[in-house]
Chain A
Amino acid sequence: MNRFARLFAALDGTTKTTAKTAALAAYFRDAPEEDRLWTIALLSGRRPKRAVTATELREWAAGAADLPHWLFEEAYSVTGDLAETIALVLPPPTRDSAETLGGHMRALVALVGRPAPQRQAAILAAWDSLGPDERFLFNKLITGGFRMGVSQGLMTRALAQATGLEEATLAHRLMGDWTPAGTSYATLIGSDDPAAAGRRPYPFALASPLEDPPEALGDPADWLAEWKWDGIRGQLIHRPGAFALWSRGEDLITDRFPEFALLANLLPPGTVIDGEVVAWGGDTPLPFADLQKRIGRKSVPKRLLAEAPARLLAYDLLEEGGQDLRSAPLGLRRARLEQLVGALPAGGLLGLSPALPVTGWAALASLRAMARGAAAEGLMLKRLSSAYHVGRKRGDWWKWKLDPFTVDAVMIYAQAGHGRRATLYTDFTFAVRDGDDLVPFAKAYSGLTDDEFRRITDWVRRHTLERFGPVRRVVPELVFEIAFEGIQASPRHRSGIALRFPRMLRWRQDKTVAEIDTIQTLRVLLAGQRGFCTPAPPEEI
């Protein structure tokens, strides 16, 4: 654990990517193989099942520190992090321990499902053998939500440095639903066994936001244009003995979308398709909220299958006849994809994400402006000569999103943030005007600088009207421009609407509460978005 704590301190102590990569590569060279495996798992979001709930941790920690619960909660509200609060309030350890990361993780996994007294005894014993930094990490490992400021790409690069293997090869080997309990470091990293590949997905190719005018991309004829769909990016795998649907977050979501099982009979074995899972409304996708209903549940009731039927809009063909096509140019992959999808029954579970007509940048810009009517978020531009890259590689794939909707609103509630933003008020509730009333309609916590949050925090402390636990009702005075991607009717919200991706675009210090938007503004946006649905989506070509 000590070695892992030192790694964490090194990663935490720098913002330089090269220094992080070097620290991680050194760790991958020296640490015991089991620790390496667990580190890869943790840094790629593969958390073991939780052995202990957050409530249990709070109770046991407050007890061990001999603090009343209210005081523990006060301390938690100041640090903003449960793992840290526990690490700081516990009395100093009375024992030393040389237990490794792997050893601790194995012990935690073994605790799952054991009776509470046994789990409590094990956790208290571990706390009593760890210093504050190690305790903090140990708690983070229990509670999950563990971020070390290391992207999967950075981890893969470090692993490539340590092993001498290609980054792309490693990225592929690390994909899928392996667990540290079910494999070994040597098998995971070293194996090139096609049988092990099974349902393993390829790393997703990602696009960068287009910031410059599209004219900078050169000849429009070199590009494929598609709608940017608002669904779940997915990879459908049909190999001998394996049928799987993966989300971009590397979650296996095959069971969430049982209708796709039919495709196993229709697609030739050795096929891998990259696409977007959407809830299908006949000619356009349904709003994301309809798809969301299906994500949260393990089994899908019949009613939901009928209300929000899923469809995969295919973007790309990554494997055909068992052959990895990723290095072939997109133009060729697309032609093969069209052939494949064209051979399936029309209007079925698998459709093409249509290629939009590319006659010039101006025409594409007008198409982009109609994206909402097509239930899309904007356009995707992909270079026809491009390979299917591992991860995000600037230059070949761009997302050209619509400008968001915006309204001016006033802050009415504030709550302190977590982690790096603990002790700052960063989570705000906003209201628009409805006659003489203020109607809350959105919560947001991103979009401002630390310095702005600091100034607002000062202001919140001086302008609190009421406290409800961690939430403060404040004088309705500060005006913000709120941006969002979509708007929907929602009977569950007092305002009658729900927003998609609300965030603070800027703090409007030049505006007073008299100048904020009204609920009517939002209703017009809502009606407008519905109205947009009338123009038919462009023909598939």
Chain B
Amino acid sequence: MARAPVLTFTDRGIFCPAGGFHIDPWRPVDRALITHGHSDHARPGHGRYLCTRQAAPVIRHRLGPVRLETIAYGETRRIGGVTVSFHPAGHVPGSAQIRVEQDGEVWVASGDYKVCADGLCEPFEPVACHTFISECTFGLPVFRWEPQEEVLARINRWWAANAAEGRISILGAYALGKAQRILSGLDTGIGPILTHGAVETTTEILRSQGYVLPATVAVTAGVSAKSHPRAIVIAPPSAQATPWAARFGPTAAAAFASGWMRLRGVRRRRGAETGFVLSDHADWPGLNAAIRETGAERVFVTHGYTAVFRRWLESQGYDAGIVQTEYQGDGIDSAQPETEGDAPE
């Protein structure tokens, strides 16, 4: 006899009937387990929150006074009829996959993840399970990331070349995760590092948690190309090409760091901006390796190139399904804060 599923999919989000909680719900619920602090996963309005100790400060800052409990990576907790634990997802600092076990059957919800260690956040750990709920933002074989050192070296070379020409470098990166990942890889010998307010706030919170990040200067009224020659500015993509960025002069060089920069069409649509291919999501080999290592027989894909990726998984012998979720930006071209935007399907 088939057993009732450990996790179900509802119009509010992923739900655990035996535990009475939701995972990353998009409508208000009583009890929410949160994988990480990005705004499409950690939403306001829930009765109670549970997240990792490392994810909590940013979530508290973003959601204000909410009823929030924390849990350590690997710690187990009994909720109703199930046992839950949180395991590093390698996506952003504090991010987790959530493992739910009911009577020996194990399901894991991945949230967002990447498998390559970025030197800043807790590295991804494969978790053995029967059913794996996976994102697949970059679930196409054209997405294959270069080693991070090479991308960071390229960013530093770009910055140094701009500095030598007397130009300020403005690099677009999401305020939580991508910005700090880049910060931790910058060569501080090149010049000062400036940050947009949204980036500075998150950076300061993470720094006070003990994540090792270089010194940054928040861009305030007195900060300009004159006051900080040779500087690099880390700003959310949405702040680029706005009056805010105008203070760095007409010669400032703009760049954007995202997995979508792998596609020439997307790069070209963004005009003369330089594109760095750097993503906090798993690439094609990463998704395949992660899924393989869970040992799962059944995989549900949530957001990304879901139709293609499911077909691929089925051809590889998995029992695969698609779950409609609201973990979505609004497309490749969105300069949305926090999420990398959803694939076109």
- Residues of A at the B interface (CB closer than 8 Å) are 12-16, 65, 67-68, 70-72, 74-75, 78-81, 84-85, 88-89, 136, 419-424, 450, 454, 457-458, 461
12 A-B interface contacts by CB (under 8 A): A75-B141, A75-B142, A78-B343, A89-B142, A419-B264, A419-B265, A420-B265, A420-B269, A422-B263, A423-B265, A450-B269, A461-B344
Contact between chains at A423 and B332 (CB < 8 Å): yes
> Contacts A65-B141, A71-B308: A421 and B265 contacting too (C-beta < 8 A)?
yes
Which residue of B is nearest A89, CB measured?
B141
Contact between chains at A70 and B311 (CB < 8 Å): yes
Nearest CB on A from B20, distance (A): 33
Which positions 256-273 of chain B face chain A at CB distance < 8 Å?
262-266, 268-269, 271-272
Which residue of B is nearest A92, CB measured?
B144
B330 an interface residue at 8 Å Cβ cutoff? Answer: yes
Contact between chains at A79 and B265 (CB < 8 Å): yes
Contact between chains at A419 and B268 (CB < 8 Å): yes
Contact between chains at A88 and B268 (CB < 8 Å): no
Chain B residues whose CB sits within 8 angstroms of the CB of A423 once the complex forms: 263, 265-266, 332, 344
User: Once bound together, how far apart are the Cα atoms of A89 and B332, in whole Å?
Assistant: 19
User: Once bound together, how far apart are the Cα atoms of A70 and B332, in whole Å?
Assistant: 23
Chain B residues whose CB sits within 8 angstroms of the CB of A85 once the complex forms: 142
User: Once bound together, how far apart are the Cα atoms of A440 and B218, in whole Å?
Assistant: 57
Nearest CB on B from A64, distance (A): 12
User: Once bound together, how far apart are the Cα atoms of A70 and B311, in whole Å?
Assistant: 10
Chain B residues whose CB sits within 8 angstroms of the CB of A458 once the complex forms: 330-331
Which residue of B is nearest A16, CB measured?
B272
Contact between chains at A88 and B332 (CB < 8 Å): no
B39 an interface residue at 8 Å Cβ cutoff? Answer: no
Chain B residues whose CB sits within 8 angstroms of the CB of A15 once the complex forms: 271-272
B202 an interface residue at 8 Å Cβ cutoff? Answer: no
Chain A residues whose CB sits within 8 angstroms of the CB of B323 once the complex forms: none
Of B142, B305, B333, which is within 8 A of A79 by CB? Answer: B142
Contact between chains at A420 and B268 (CB < 8 Å): yes
B198 an interface residue at 8 Å Cβ cutoff? Answer: no
B312 an interface residue at 8 Å Cβ cutoff? Answer: yes
Of A78, A84, A419, which is within 8 A of B344 by CB? Answer: A78
Chain B residues whose CB sits within 8 angstroms of the CB of A12 once the complex forms: 268
Chain A residues whose CB sits within 8 angstroms of the CB of B141 once the complex forms: 65, 67, 71-72, 75, 88-89
Chain B residues whose CB sits within 8 angstroms of the CB of A457 once the complex forms: 331, 344
**B207-220 Cβ-contact flags toward A at 8 Å (1 or 0):** 00000000000000
> Contacts A68-B315, A84-B264, A423-B263: A78 and B272 contacting too (C-beta < 8 A)?
no
Which residue of B is nearest A450, CB measured?
B269
**B111-142 Cβ-contact flags toward A at 8 Å (1 or 0):** 00000000000000000000000000000111
B274 an interface residue at 8 Å Cβ cutoff? Answer: yes
Chain A residues whose CB sits within 8 angstroms of the CB of B332 once the complex forms: 423
Contact between chains at B272 and A454 (CB < 8 Å): no
Nearest CB on B from A23, distance (A): 14
16 extra interface residue pairs, beta carbon distance < 8 Å, beyond A136-B264, A423-B332: A13-B272, A15-B272, A70-B311, A71-B311, A74-B140, A75-B141, A78-B263, A78-B305, A79-B263, A80-B265, A84-B142, A85-B142, A88-B143, A420-B268, A420-B269, A422-B263
Chain B residues whose CB sits within 8 angstroms of the CB of A71 once the complex forms: 141, 308, 311-312
User: Once bound together, how far apart are the Cα atoms of A72 and B274, in whole Å?
Assistant: 27
User: Once bound together, how far apart are the Cα atoms of A78 and B331, in whole Å?
Assistant: 13
Nearest CB on A from B281, distance (A): 15
Nearest CB on A from B8, distance (A): 26
User: Once bound together, how far apart are the Cα atoms of A181 and B312, in whole Å?
Assistant: 45
Nearest CB on A from B162, distance (A): 13
User: Once bound together, how far apart are the Cα atoms of A5 and B189, in whole Å?
Assistant: 30
**B177-213 Cβ-contact flags toward A at 8 Å (1 or 0):** 0000000000000000000000000000000000000
Chain B residues whose CB sits within 8 angstroms of the CB of A461 once the complex forms: 344-345
Chain B residues whose CB sits within 8 angstroms of the CB of A422 once the complex forms: 263-265
Nearest CB on B from A178, distance (A): 31
> Contacts A13-B272, A457-B331: A75 and B140 contacting too (C-beta < 8 A)?
yes
Contact between chains at B344 and A79 (CB < 8 Å): no
* Residue of B142, B312, B331 most packed against chain A (CB within 10 A): B142
Nearest CB on A from B129, distance (A): 25
User: Once bound together, how far apart are the Cα atoms of A334 and B120, in whole Å?
Assistant: 76
User: Once bound together, how far apart are the Cα atoms of A74 and B311, in whole Å?
Assistant: 11
User: Once bound together, how far apart are the Cα atoms of A81 and B268, in whole Å?
Assistant: 13
User: Once bound together, how far apart are the Cα atoms of A236 and B332, in whole Å?
Assistant: 50
**B320-345 Cβ-contact flags toward A at 8 Å (1 or 0):** 00000000001111000000000111
* Residue of A67, A79, A423 most packed against chain B (CB within 10 A): A423
Of A13, A68, A81, A136, which is within 8 A of B274 by CB? Answer: A13
User: Once bound together, how far apart are the Cα atoms of A458 and B328, in whole Å?
Assistant: 13
**B250-290 Cβ-contact flags toward A at 8 Å (1 or 0):** 00000000000011111011011010000000000000000
Chain A residues whose CB sits within 8 angstroms of the CB of B345 once the complex forms: 461
Chain A residues whose CB sits within 8 angstroms of the CB of B343 once the complex forms: 78
User: Once bound together, how far apart are the Cα atoms of A420 and B263, in whole Å?
Assistant: 10
Nearest CB on A from B292, distance (A): 15
Nearest CB on A from B41, distance (A): 22
User: Once bound together, how far apart are the Cα atoms of A14 and B268, in whole Å?
Assistant: 10
> Contacts A74-B140, A457-B331: A79 and B264 contacting too (C-beta < 8 A)?
yes
Which positions 67-108 of chain B face chain A at CB distance < 8 Å?
none
Chain B residues whose CB sits within 8 angstroms of the CB of A72 once the complex forms: 141
Nearest CB on B from A130, distance (A): 15
Chain A residues whose CB sits within 8 angstroms of the CB of B268 once the complex forms: 12, 419-420
User: Once bound together, how far apart are the Cα atoms of A68 and B312, in whole Å?
Assistant: 9
> Contacts A420-B269, A422-B265, A423-B332: A88 and B308 contacting too (C-beta < 8 A)?
no
Which positions 26-65 of chain B face chain A at CB distance < 8 Å?
none
Which residue of B is nearest A136, CB measured?
B264
Nearest CB on A from B44, distance (A): 25
> Contacts A15-B272, A420-B269, A421-B265: A78 and B333 contacting too (C-beta < 8 A)?
no
Nearest CB on B from A346, distance (A): 54
Which residue of B is nearest A419, CB measured?
B265
The 4 A-B pairs with the shortest beta carbon distances in the complex, nearest first, are: A422-B265, A88-B142, A420-B268, A74-B308
Nearest CB on A from B328, distance (A): 11
Nearest CB on A from B307, distance (A): 9
Chain B residues whose CB sits within 8 angstroms of the CB of A13 once the complex forms: 272, 274
User: Once bound together, how far apart are the Cα atoms of A61 and B282, in whole Å?
Assistant: 23
> Contacts A68-B315, A458-B331: A78 and B140 contacting too (C-beta < 8 A)?
yes
Chain A residues whose CB sits within 8 angstroms of the CB of B144 once the complex forms: 88
Chain A residues whose CB sits within 8 angstroms of the CB of B269 once the complex forms: 420-421, 424, 450
**B290-321 Cβ-contact flags toward A at 8 Å (1 or 0):** 00000000000000010010011001000000
* Residue of A88, A421, A458 most packed against chain B (CB within 10 A): A88
User: Once bound together, how far apart are the Cα atoms of A422 and B264, in whole Å?
Assistant: 9
Of A79, A419, A454, which is within 8 A of B331 by CB? Answer: A454
Of B262, B271, B272, which is within 8 A of A88 by CB? Answer: B262
Which residue of B is nearest A451, CB measured?
B333
Nearest CB on A from B275, distance (A): 10
Chain B residues whose CB sits within 8 angstroms of the CB of A450 once the complex forms: 269
User: Once bound together, how far apart are the Cα atoms of A14 and B311, in whole Å?
Assistant: 39
Which residue of A is nearest B142, CB measured?
A88
Chain A residues whose CB sits within 8 angstroms of the CB of B263 once the complex forms: 78-79, 84, 422-423
Nearest CB on A from B148, distance (A): 16
User: Once bound together, how far apart are the Cα atoms of A84 and B267, in whole Å?
Assistant: 13
Nearest CB on B from A86, distance (A): 10
Nearest CB on B from A343, distance (A): 54
Which residue of A is nearest B143, CB measured?
A88
User: Once bound together, how far apart are the Cα atoms of A84 and B315, in whole Å?
Assistant: 25
Chain A residues whose CB sits within 8 angstroms of the CB of B308 once the complex forms: 71, 74
* Residue of A67, A74, A89, A454 most packed against chain B (CB within 10 A): A74
